Structure 1
Amino acid sequence: MYEVKIISEFSAAHHLRHFRGKCENLHGHNWKVEVVVRGSCLDESGMLIDFGVVKQITREILGGLDHRYLNDLPAFKERNPSSENIAEHLFEGLSERINNDHRWVYCVSAWESKDACATYWNDRR
């Protein structure tokens, strides 16, 4: 088994509905995002997937979140833009573009601060 990880980031504002505390108010984060891709075999160049490909796809998806008010986005109209839901949203978008018979997005972590993150993975691969 092989594993590739990239780290990216984005900045955005949000508030958490139905939450009692400071995060119910409008605030922002500089999120760090970790994307882990796993796979069973390497391609003819000896790579699971090019880091640049994973970075580019991640940047494209994060472009829809960066410097936005997350609560206004369709993905978060019905659910809170919590770190958990952001990680799941990114996981789903990345999986659509990266997964094939030999590799898959294993997990995505959304760090809202240097010491707090949420990770999403799907055991149903």
Structure 2
Amino acid sequence: MFQISVEETFSAGHALRGYKGKCENPHGHNYKVQVLLEGAALDSIGLLYDFTHVKQVLKDVILGVDHKFLNDQPPFDTLNPSAENIAKYFFDEAAKRMHGGTASARIKSITVWETDTTSATYWP
């Protein structure tokens, strides 16, 4: 099995609905997002997936949330913008945009860091 990962960053604000603590107030993070792909086979030139394409997919998803207040952006206008929900959102959106690579390549997981020491990971 092979794995590759790509990381990108973005900045956004949010407020956790129903949370009893300081994070219920509007605040922001400099997020880091990591996509992890896996597959059993490499293509004819020895790649599981082109890093450049994975980076572009992440950047395309980030465009919808970068420097925005997440609570105002779908789906977070109705879905609480927790790190866990943000990770699933990135997984779903990235999966829609991924094409090419080897037949066995697939997104294994997405991890979203709110800080250097706190993260949430989603995998199906």
Return the TM-score normalized by structure 1: 0.93
Post-superposition offset of 1:16: 0.4
Aligned equivalents of 1:17 and 1:60: distance in 2?
Answer: 27
Q: 2:106 aligns with which of 98, 104, 107?
A: 104
Q: Structure 1 residues 46 and 14, CA, compared in 2 at 3 Å: closer, same or farther? A: same
Q: Which consecutive unaligned segments of at least 5 residues does structure 1 have?
A: none
User: Which amino acid counterpart does residue 90 of structure 2 have in structure 1?
Assistant: L
Query: Quick one: which amino acid aligns to residue 24 of structure 2?
Result: E
User: Match for residue 26 of structure 2?
Assistant: 26
Question: How far 1:97 moved relative to its partner?
Answer: 2.0
Q: Equivalent residue for 1:52?
A: 52
Letter in 2 for 1:120: Y
Identity of aligned residues (%): 43
Distance (whole Å) between structure 2 residues aligned to residue 98 and residue 37 of structure 1: 11
Once the two structures are superposed, residues 45-104 of structure 1 have per-residue CA deviations (whole angstroms, 9 ceiling, x without a partner) of 110001111001101111111000100111112211110000000001111222674111
CA distance in 1, matches of 2:74, 2:61: 14
Matched, 1:36 2:36: yes
How many residues are matched?
A: 122
Residue aligned with 1:88, SS: helix
TM-score (norm 2): 0.94
Q: Distance in 1 between matches of 2:96 and 2:40?
A: 18
Gaps of 5+ in 2: none
Once superposed, what is the RMSD of the aligned Cα atoms? 1.1
